[in-house]
């Protein structure tokens, strides 16, 4: 029986599909894969698989993050793309608006991260036991009046909440971040201002690059 869903949330769209891959634009505050209970059944993967049953998840975005999510058509393609992610052959770019005016125009954050088990799903910086984590950032613009900076973010590693925690750890949390920003900065935006805007890779079929317009 075909799954039935309510109207899709604003921002949901199919970006591309062929016989190998499928890309979808995930709205903010929408699950990437099924969550707990009946209320967690409506999610990006379920919506995609209702029309393309062979579409398999390759990677995920946080529920609060919007942007490009890649699906593989079939298990063999899923293995190939998963290897490409693991070997850092996927080029990912995010855009975010953070609190404060960064003094430099670009930089790297290499703080090691670890699950904060008593406060799951939060993560924490742990200089002793944390896993190596690397984020590159570049200033796109500064808004002196608002006291914010728009950044391009390039996650070299892919730890849970890496971008959110790395930026909070250097004193520039992402606006709208309920997990890592102090309450006034969480309340400064109607959503987490983090969007997966670019995904590119190369394989035997050639070069592939896709973009999603930033909705904030």
Candidate list 19, 29, 54, 62, residue with the active-site label: 62
HSE-CB for 62 with a 13 A CA cutoff:
23
DSSP string, 120-157: TT-EEE-TTTPBP--EEEEEEEEETTTTEEEEEEEESS
Query: What SS3 class is residue 191?
Result: coil
- Cβ(156)–Cβ(87) below 8 Å: no
Q: Is 62 a catalytic residue?
A: yes
Q: Which distant-in-sequence residues (6+ apart) come within 8 Å of 9 by Cβ?
A: 27, 29, 30
Find the radius of gyration of the CA atoms of the chain. Answer: 18
Point out the residues that are catalytic: 62
């Amino acid at each position: 029986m075909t799954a039935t869903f309510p109207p899709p949330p604003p921002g949901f769209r199919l970006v591309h599909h062929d016989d190998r891959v499928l890309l979808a634009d995930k709205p903010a505050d929408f699950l990437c894969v099924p969550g707990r209970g009946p209320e967690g059944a409506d999610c990006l993967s379920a919506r995609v698989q209702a029309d393309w049953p062979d579409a398999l998840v390759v990677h995920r975005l946080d529920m609060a993050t919007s942007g490009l999510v890649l699906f593989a058509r079939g298990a063999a393609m899923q293995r190939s793309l998963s290897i490409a992610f693991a070997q850092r052959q996927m080029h990912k770019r995010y855009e975010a608006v953070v609190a404060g005016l960064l003094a430099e125009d670009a930089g790297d954050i290499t703080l090691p991260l670890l699950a904060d088990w008593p406060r799951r799903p939060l993560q924490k910086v742990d200089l002793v036991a944390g896993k190596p984590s690397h984020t590159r950032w570049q200033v796109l613009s500064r808004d002196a009046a608002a006291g914010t900076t728009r950044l391009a973010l390039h996650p070299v590693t892919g730890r849970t909440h890496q971008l959110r925690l790395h930026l909070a750890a250097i004193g520039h949390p992402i606006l709208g971040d309920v997990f890592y920003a102090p309450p006034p900065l969480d309340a400064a935006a109607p959503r987490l201002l983090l969007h997966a805007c670019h995904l590119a890779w190369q394989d035997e079929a050639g070069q592939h690059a896709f973009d999603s317009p930033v909705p904030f």
